[in-house]
A and B are shown apart, each in its own frame.
Chain A
Amino acid sequence: MIGRGLERALGILAVIGLLAGLYAGFLYAPPDAVQGEVQRIMYLHVPLILVSYLAFFVVFVTSILYLARRCERHDAIAHSSAEIGVLFTALAIAAGSIWGRPTWGTWWTWDARLTTTTILLLIFIGYLMLRALVDDPSRGATFSAVLGIIGFLDVPIIHMSVVWWRTLHQPASVLRPGPSTVAPDMQVALYTNLAAFVLLYGYFLVKRVRLEEARWELSRLRMEGAA
């Protein structure tokens, strides 16, 4: 696993990235021609949701690996990544809701993109509850691996929701075929923030997996003590 030095370096890089992202989002990027200053919430909202997709993709891959190989480390990474994904999705929904009030005139609407994203959040809250409720850790890991794989299938539905249904939410401007619809100066700010949030995700993941390692050691000692 990743050493302490690398963990610290990841944390420092994430902080530097976030500071650079704030500079790029608030001082380097110009205000939007249509929305004005409030569009600066995009530099928070978009990286948060894209990194939550990444987190759930990690859950998807490590859950498949866990079911195939029954390796505890894959399960620990899936569990940790799901928890971080829930945090990032909840914050992305909250930031989007705050952005929606001055631009759409409402905090919330049952738009296809918003609804499918809320379903994703609920699926992975269910995933975390399932892990907490099943007494046998091995059975809990198996059930949640299946749920993690099924849950990830909502991500492409979220992405395509703005194409398949008529929505209030704007179409994809980053993960889309063809050139980006975002202005070059705004792209710099957006990608700086995206890189910073990817680093932050990596840092959180390493720290969260360490918690799982401590949990394994505790259960191993308890088993030895009981034997």
Chain B
Amino acid sequence: MGAEPAEDGGGGVNPWPYILAAYLLAAFGLLCYLVSVSRRTKAMRAQVAALKRFSKDTMR
């Protein structure tokens, strides 16, 4: 006969703050990385566009 699994693993600790902390931290970290890559790419492309404009102007 299997006993009902303990909500807290038998340790008397509420597990949900730990579960939420782990998942929210991961979500925050992944989201920050995605935003960082997007912003760096955007900034790099803006520099490329500015340089292209500048070289076109100097060619005239």
Q: Give the interface of A toward B (CB within 8 A).
A: 30-41, 44-45, 48, 84, 87, 90-91, 94-95, 98-99, 101-103, 200, 204, 207-208, 210-211, 214-215, 217-218, 221-222, 224-225
Contact = CB atoms under 8 A, between A and B. Distances in A.
Nearest to B32: A87
Given A91-B25, A91-B29, A224-B55, A37 B8 contact: yes
B44 A38 contact: no
A215 B44 contact: yes
Interface majority SS on B: helix, strand, loop or mixed? helix
Given A37-B7, A225-B55, 5 more contacts: A37-B15, A98-B18, A211-B44, A214-B44, A221-B51
A189 to B, nearest CB: 13
Closest 7 pairs between A and B when the two form their complex, measured CB to CB: A38-B15, A36-B9, A214-B44, A35-B9, A98-B22, A95-B22, A37-B15
Contacts of B25: 91, 94-95, 98
A66 to B, nearest CB: 21
B15 A217 contact: no
Interface majority SS on A: helix, strand, loop or mixed? helix
A225 B51 CA distance: 9
A214 B18 CA distance: 40
A217 B48 CA distance: 7
Contact of A102 (B3, B18, B48): B18
B22 A94 contact: yes
A31 B40 CA distance: 41
A38 B52 contact: no
B19 A41 contact: yes
Interface string B6-50: 111111010110110111011001100110011011001101100
Contacts of A32: 5, 9
Contact of B55 (A33, A90, A103, A221): A221
B21 A103 contact: no
A218 B43 CA distance: 11
B44 A204 contact: no
A200 B45 contact: no
Given A33-B2, A102-B15, A214-B41, A87 B33 contact: yes
Contact of B19 (A38, A91, A210, A221): A38
5 contacts: A38-B18, A38-B19, A39-B9, A41-B23, A94-B25
Contacts of A218: 44, 47-48, 51
Contact of B18 (A99, A224, A225): A99
